[in-house]
A and B are shown apart, each in its own frame.
Chain A
């Protein structure tokens, strides 16, 4: 089964509730997070127009990544019907992405944004107050309830922070087999979200980039499987 098809199937599976800094959040196997008390849907690292960003540099990669990512996001929005959507940075793969986005995709995005609040958090790929002319509010970070949203995780302890940027994946091995899958990484106090864009790669949560973010012994990877999300402690994961 192709990775893309798996994403679409997983998006129909059961969500799991957990807490971050005392705030209840719902982890969706499509890769989004929903805070029911706030009616807030959070999605990270959409990397829209990644294909086009490569095309601008001479590698004419297929333009369908934006389409697939927006289709997945649409399904998530329809599922949770949020009052607000927060994009946690790197929403576009490069800084010209929003301005040069073909009209067909702009309309899809505008449909999603209609009748709800929309917050763009700035990322490292889109450091300017992002998507000009797309509407929504732009901000470097946002505090909502007991949670604080920013693109790059702050080194050291940071209770209540929800960040993206690192594209966490977990690897589980056993009996001579191995599975590598995207995950939400957290310790009950903070969370690093999986990347949502369909052509984005991933970084193992045991990589040194994650070191020091989570409380020793409490770090959990909520691994997105085919059937549901599996909470697995970092100590049971493998590198690679």
Chain B
């Protein structure tokens, strides 16, 4: 516990816990835990608190105890007065978690005999129930960030939240760093205005910087308006109180030591299936975590292929139909399943039955995520959780090993907080206008109390308002179509009820990739299509674009044959095939964290540490050091070699796929200028491979390419700017910003747009905007997104600084052992350069040749002018 933050007075159960509560604890044979009493005492003193505790520490009860005590003491409302508003609001990142808490809270509420109403409000809540909640608000409302945005944008928000005393944020660490967190922070700022005495409680797993979360929980002070400063002249910002509960028993984690050969690349770990199956058989209930949906599908199918005992093994991921997911969750809580294959949909604290083993297939990519997932096993904090890591390829063996070390060290690597996104702010501004007319001065002051927007400057804020009103274009031709307008009394108001309706349909920051429902039909005939069949889930539209009718793919645990797209649905039939013809490659969506990357580099550079690795991985590295070289910890190894009629250059920065992708784009531009004729590149978490028609090895050896110049930090200047402006990633990022900011609607009332239609138009819109208004607020938002998340520019910059004058070049005659994985990798980037016209030219020439050789002159004449 933090000594500096002692509660106002030391608390004991008899001091502050009402008798009814004490009796309940005693009847259960429990004693209230110190942190639960501590939190209660601080809350009673009016403090906001961040509670950091491991899974199983009674975090939820601690978070709600102050509200339960306060509600138990509250007098009944006088008859004839207006119904009381919500007393406590609970916000969780997952609606499933909210539902889970509703069940769990019922135990103490019933046990103590409290007359407290607890209800959830999520996307699944019926319209009838929502209406009833508005008329008679529950004492405790459990909801999600998106629903909160809608609640505060409602006309009756003032009454609904007038009696609000406490907001509890669960899994706060997982919320704050994202755009969702930004919207939530703005929502909290509004709640503080509606209910000025508001207290907050943040519940979080261990984080690297608790002060960020502490600041997030309490109103911040704008730079311009405070004189408080520490001895360095730095602004002293208000923080919430902090209670830290130390971790329980150390988890028992091992890396699967397989008899089989660990593959060079890939993400599926097929080789380990028999051993994973044995582990499932040896435990009561096993949770199997993977990083992507496609991995989940494949793992599930492979397990059933060898499931000779027909153990109940289920599948759970976000693309599956809601009903199916719910059935799995229900079966799980009844302890009817032996294993569940899951993606991050199960990362957060849903309470499962008696899970006694967690298997993590593929590298966890971050030590914090690993800790969180392992925490799913065995919900009692004093017993060790048991987990097995299954690396899918050889680099992952190293990654698992260092992640394992990191978990024991308790190292945390949550992503850093970033400045509040302007697209999110734009959405919030419109929402606040929908709620009631606002004055710009007041809203600006309110917004600046939210941590992510603390340093927002007024001109930018005004630009956002202008954007919301008329699009914010220098060419002012949209005044007549304004969404909000400054009225004579100095307030901004929405211009039309339709604007409010549109806002409600499009609120939130979760932009799903364009998906279509997958419907199973019996055969592809008009009558069978009419009859329909069950919906199996949702699938990305751009994956479907690669399919032709008859192609088979893996989805919802079965091999399906694609039949076509009909009325915005993907129609499939069952097949007899065992193997899907089209692999769905997702790769890992989580980039390797900086910390783990550094650990992998350190392990690689130090042969003394290879002892921890399996023989086959050790041999692989030993051959690498004989045939080429092992890079030092602060060195960048570059290998060049020919394969077929192409020349390859492979670099091993170990900085994560995103950073490598950015680097790949920048390097190919430079190589193109140097005459190396690059054709494409591929990036993994560990390495980057560029290939081309020019012999890059010879060019480096003869100093026609200088590696120091090639990797010079100046590439982050003009090259980055020129490339970013046209990259597809920026366009995708623009699309998200445009949807969040309300420029492009997710949905028009009564008219579902397909994602594809939005994509096409937003690309063109981006081009037009960039050509005519490069300083537009939405382009600012897009660039900020791309530079932080999408491109990992900061990491590329750190990398370039780190390796300056530490580049080691090996010109080889053939591929090296270390290069094998990346040479086998799928998912390549092509360079959009001279090549595109070449392709057209080849096709046109081929047609001419065919015409010249054919007997019949089929094509009509063309002549060049």
Chain A residues packing against B (C-beta within 8 Å): 1-5, 14-19, 26, 51-52, 55-65, 67-68, 102, 104, 172-179, 181, 187-188, 198-201, 217-218, 220, 223, 225-227, 230-233, 236, 240
Contact = CB atoms under 8 A, between A and B. Distances in A.
B744 A177 contact: no
Contact of A230 (B757, B766, B841, B858): B841
Interface stretch (B205-213, B261-269, B830-838): B830-838
B839 A177 contact: yes
B478 A26 contact: no
Contact of A60 (B483, B768, B861): B483
Given A58-B745, A59-B744, A174 B773 contact: no
13 contacts: A2-B725, A3-B764, A5-B767, A5-B771, A16-B862, A19-B861, A62-B769, A64-B773, A188-B859, A201-B761, A218-B860, A230-B844, A236-B847
Given A51-B768, A63-B478, 19 more contacts: A2-B726, A2-B771, A4-B770, A55-B481, A58-B502, A58-B748, A59-B744, A60-B481, A62-B471, A68-B772, A104-B475, A179-B836, A198-B764, A199-B768, A201-B761, A220-B859, A225-B836, A227-B837, A240-B545
B743 A236 contact: no
Contacts of A102: 477
Contacts of B477: 52, 63, 102, 104
The 6 A-B pairs of least Cβ separation, nearest first, read A60-B471, A188-B860, A64-B772, A230-B844, A4-B767, A199-B764
B4 interface: no
Contacts of B766: 2
A201 B840 contact: no
A62 B473 contact: yes
Given A56-B481, A58-B745, A199-B761, A181 B771 contact: no
B794 interface: no
A58 B837 contact: no
Interface string B851-865: 000000011111111
B768 A232 contact: no
A233 B847 contact: yes
Interface string B271-296: 00000000000000000000000000
Contacts of B858: 217-218
B860 A26 contact: no
Main secondary structure of the interface of B (DSSP, over half): helix
Interface in B406-461: none
Contacts of B499: 58
A18 B471 CA distance: 44
Nearest to B475: A63
Given A14-B865, A18-B862, A52-B478, A179 B771 contact: no
B861 A62 contact: no
A172 B843 contact: yes
A52 B836 CA distance: 33
A231 B473 contact: no
Contact of B769 (A17, A18, A64): A64
Interface centre among B767, B830, B859 (most CB of A within 10 A): B767
Nearest to A218: B858
Contacts of A230: 840-841, 843-844
Contacts of B471: 55, 60-63
Contacts of A17: 862-865
A225 B481 contact: no
Nearest to A24: B863
Nearest to A56: B481
